[in-house]
Amino acid sequence: MIVVTGAAGFIGSCLVKRLNRDNFNNIIAVDKFGDAAKMNNLASAKIKEYVDREEFMPWLDKNNELVDFIFHIGAKTDTSEFDTVLLNKMNTQYTKDIWKRCIQYQIPLVYASSAATYGLGEVGYDDDESKISSLKPLNPYGQSKQDFDLWALQQKEKPFFWAGLKFFNVYGPNEYHKGRMASVIWHAFNQIGKTDKMKLFRSHNPRFKDGEQMRDFVYVKDVVEVCVFLMHHRRNSGIYNLGSGKARTFLDLTKATFQAMGKTEDIAFIDTPVDIRDKYQYFTEANMTKLQTIGYSRPFHSLEEGVADYVKNYLMPGSASY
């Protein structure tokens, strides 16, 4: 059996469907299952058992001999959440509890870290573990992920295989329930669909022109392929970046969305809200060398390829679900 936490969420549900495609159907889906919108993400998935996240630790203690692998994708992912007690409980401590059981029961583990740990990128975006202690996250969410990464690296006892994945700006099917925290592509599609226009944040950094703020946008289909690779690989434990490896501008993203929708570009700029202006990331780009050196060679979707697939095959009316 394969456990996927956060199974009803964005990345988790896409991972479940990807595992199903390889006939891994004995999936233990762990999440808080009260959200009907999120449950739509698993409507066609093959699931052996649904386990509430609050009941997962007792469940694992009882059923550990049947578990072959754990993907711990679930987390409190709201970057505007400032309740540090809640974030420590749901992100840092919960992951520690899983980690300890993976050691005790000899279960390999892949868990979700975040590129939010890099902050403004003062020391770059390199997943060299010797540099992780110098990172400065910009918000409590990023700090909760950083706290666990540091804790994991300091442990003398570790699962026989483990990997922490620093997800960059992931976009793709099954994110509709995330609302404000959904990707810019999702928001662009909806805004363009309603108004035939798109508003982007103006740059308040003299080194970047309006719309030329750059992020590493990575398609969720690429993310889950890396997860499946690591499940089979089970060597070279450590913390890995997971982005496309190529920073692109918000203008690139918006133009690709207009093109995929078959609409004429109409882009305007608005001021970045004052409350996030000082903590706004103007550039992120994953150094993907480390993952490549352990044998991952599958090409990533370009931004244009990913946006076209997402818009035409999942967002347009009448499109299929993932």
- Residue 290 and residue 127 in contact, taking contact as beta carbons nearer than 8 Å: yes
Q: Which two tokens stand for residue 20?
A: 């199903």
176 is catalytic: no
Annotated catalytic residue: which of 76, 136, 158, 178?
178
- Residue 255 and residue 265 in contact, taking contact as beta carbons nearer than 8 Å: yes
Q: Could you give the CA distance from residue 287 to residue 259 in angstroms, rounded to a whole number?
A: 29
CB neighbour list of residue 299: distance below 8 Å, 6 or more residues apart: none
Annotated catalytic residue: which of 111, 118, 125, 141?
141
For 27, list phi and psi in degrees, rounded to 5. Answer: -100, 130
Q: Could you tell me where the beta strands, DSSP code E, fall in 45-184? A: 49-52, 69-72, 109-114, 162-167, 169-171
Q: Could you give the CA distance from residue 282 to residue 68 in angstroms, rounded to a whole number?
A: 40
Spell out a b/e string for 202-220, using b for 16 or more CB atoms within 10 Å of the CB, else e: ebeeeeeebbbbbbbbbbb
Q: Which amino acid is at 62?
A: K
178 is catalytic: yes
CA 186 to chain centre: 15
Handedness of CA 159, 170, 132, 128 (dihedral sign): positive
Active site residues per annotation: 141, 178
